[in-house]
Structure 1
Amino acid sequence: MRYSSQVKPISYLKANAAEVLTNLAERREPLVITQNGEAKAVLQDVASFEETQETLALLKILALGNQDVAAGKTKCAAEIVARLRAKRPTA
C-alpha cells in the first residue's frame, strides 16, 4: 500500500472531518495527516485498528514462544499427553 496517495494537511481534516471519517471506513486505508508539511499523525478506521492490535498481540505471543524455545523452556507433546492421562480419573 502506498501511503503517499493518502496524505492530507490538517486543514483538510478540519474542514472535511465527516467526509474523512466516511472515507476511512469505506476504503479501510490509513490517512497521513501533515502539519506544516511534515507528517504528524495517521488516522485509520476502528475495524482496521482492532485488526492491527490483534495481529500485534499474536506476533507478541509468537515472539514469546520463540524466546521459550531458544531458552530450552519446552517439553515434547508426548510427555505432556502422558502426564495429562496419568492425572485423568479412571471410570
Structure 2
Amino acid sequence: MRYSSQVKPISYLKANAAEVLAQLSEQREPLVITQNGEAKAVLQDVASFEETQEALALLKILALGHQELEAGRVRPVAEVVARLRSKRAPG
C-alpha cells in the first residue's frame, strides 16, 4: 500500500473532520497527517486498528514460543498429555 496518496495537512483534518472519519471507515486505509510539511500522525479506522493489535499480539506469542524453543524449555506433546490425564484421573 502506498501512503503517499493518503497524506493531508492538519488544516485539512480540522476543516473536514467528519468527512475524514467517513473516508477512514469506508476505505480502511490509514491517513498520514502533516504539520508544517512533516508527517506527525497516522489516523486509521477502529476496525483496522483492532486487526493490527490482534496481529501484533499473535506475533508476540509466536516470538515467545520461539524463545522458549531456542532455550530448550519444551516438552514432547505425549508427555504433556499424559501429565494432564494423570491429574484428571480419580484417585
Q: Which runs of 5+ in 2 are unaligned?
A: none
**Structure 1 runs of 4+ with >3 Å offset:** none
TM-score, normalised to structure 1, is 0.95
Cα deviation, 1:36-77, whole Å, max 9, x if unaligned, reads 111000000011001111111111011011000000000000
- Report the TM-score, using the length of structure 2 for normalisation: 0.95
The letter for the 2-side match of 1:80 is V
Structure 1 CA distance for aligned equivalents of residues 69 and 7 of structure 2: 42
Offset, 1:85: 2.2
Aligned to 1:74: 74
Pairs within 5 Å for 1:1-91: 1-90=1-90
Partners of 1:40 and 1:70 in 2: how far apart?
A: 39
Q: Determine what percentage of the aligned residue pairs are the same residue.
A: 80
Output the CA distance in 1 between the equivalents of 2:66 and 2:3: 32
Separation in structure 1 between the aligned mates of residue 38 and residue 87 of structure 2, nearest angstrom: 62
Letter in 1 for 2:57: A
Q: What is the Cα-based RMSD across aligned positions, in Å?
A: 1.3
Report how far residue 87 of structure 1 moved: 2.3
Amino acid at match of 2:21: L
Matched residue count: 91
Report the 3-state secondary structure (helix = DSSP H, G, I; strand = E; otherwise coil) of the residue aligned with 2:4: helix
